[in-house]
Amino acid sequence: MAMDWRAWHDQYDLADSSLARRLKVVQQQVGAALDDCPPGPLRVVSLCAGQGRDLLEVLDGHPRRADVRARLVELDERNTALASAAVRAAGLDQVEVLTGDAALTDHYRGMVPADVVLVCGLFGNITDFTAEPQPLAAGDSMFTFVGYGLLKQRSSDAG
Ligand SMILES: C[S@@+](CC[C@H](N)C(=O)[O-])C[C@H]1O[C@@H](n2cnc3c(N)ncnc32)[C@H](O)[C@@H]1O
């Protein structure tokens, strides 16, 4: 049976569920990555962004929010509708939510190299995954969450 990716996000609201704990970890890491970014305009992209909670809830209260342009790419239009509503509610005018296939590089035009790249909850759904994630960022942060584990990779570490 196909996964319902809108319903999948409901687990984020179940207190002490593994996904709720994972969200907290991701949000802490995203906040820390923004803290570490140099002054000036920043670009953030999120692949398979879902409802965007990992980024949007952090940006809302972050001192760098005015510096950040972000693009969330997500296939399920129910999730992008919820992400867009969150963007409007928070007044995050520089955040775009795009409904589309995250594998299409055209969707990142004007946003790469990015300062922070989020690839969360993606590789755990790919069977037989053998390729190394290729950073879209130049010298900055890429966060990959494999299943419920965290693999924090700086593109400078990745060579
Ligand atoms: C495990 S969820 C993770 C969502 C979000 N990154 C998070 O961690 O909260 C995977 C998401 O990928 C989306 N998705 C699946 N295939 C996609 C594709 N080809 N392009 C964009 N999004 C896709 C699904 O709709 C789902 O919202």
Task: Supply the pLDDT for residue 130.
Answer: 47
The amino acid present at 106, given as its one-letter code, is D
Per domain, the residue ranges of the chain are: 5-158
Residue 43 banded pLDDT, cuts 50, 70, 90: very high
115 lines ligand 1 (CB under 6 A): no
57 lines ligand 1 (CB under 6 A): no
Q: Taking every pair of C-alpha atoms in the chain, what is the biggest distance, in angstroms?
A: 47
Q: Tokens 């995250």, residue?
A: 102
Give residues with Cβ within 8 angstroms of 39, minimum separation 6: 67
Dihedral angle sign, alpha carbons of residues 40, 47, 148, 157: negative
Instruction: Render pLDDT for 63-111 as a digit per residue (tens, 0 to 9).
Output: 999 999 999 999 999 999 999 999 999 999 999 999 999 989 899 999 9
Task: Supply the pLDDT for residue 126.
Answer: 52
Give residues with Cβ within 8 angstroms of 156, minimum separation 6: 139
Bridging pattern class, strands 114-120 and 149-154: unpaired
pTM of the predicted model as reported, rounded to 2 decimal places: 0.86
Whether the per-residue pLDDT at 6 is higher than 90: the answer is yes
CA–centroid distance, 33 to ligand 1, in Å, is 21
CATH class belonging to 5-158: alpha beta
CA–centroid distance, 34 to ligand 1, in Å, is 22
Task: Supply the pLDDT for residue 120.
Answer: 87
Q: Which residue owns the Cα nearest ligand 1 atom 13?
A: 48
Instruction: Render pLDDT for 118-158 as a digit per residue (tens, 0 to 9).
Output: 988 876 555 554 445 555 555 555 665 544 444 444 444 43
Q: Tell me the chain's radius of gyration from C-alpha atoms.
A: 15
- Rounded to an integer, the average pLDDT of 48-64 is 96
Task: Supply the pLDDT for residue 122.
Answer: 75
> What are the beta bridge partners of residue 152?
143
CA 25 to CA 150: how far, in whole Å? 9
The amino acid present at 101, given as its one-letter code, is D
DSSP category for residue 3: -
Whether the per-residue pLDDT at 14 is higher than 70: the answer is yes
49 lines ligand 1 (CB under 6 A): yes
Q: Tokens 């704990």, residue?
A: 21
Of 99, 154, 157, 148, whose CA–CA distance to 123 is shortest? 148
Task: Supply the pLDDT for residue 156.
Answer: 44
120 lines ligand 1 (CB under 6 A): yes
Mutate to test the pocket of ligand 1, among 75, 77, 84 (most ligand atoms within 8 A of CB): 75
Mutate to test the pocket of ligand 1, among 9, 48, 51 (most ligand atoms within 8 A of CB): 48
Instruction: Kindly report the backbone phi and psi dihedral angles of residue 60, in degrees, each rounded to the nearest multiple of 5, phi listed first.
Output: -50, -40
Task: Supply the pLDDT for residue 81.
Answer: 98
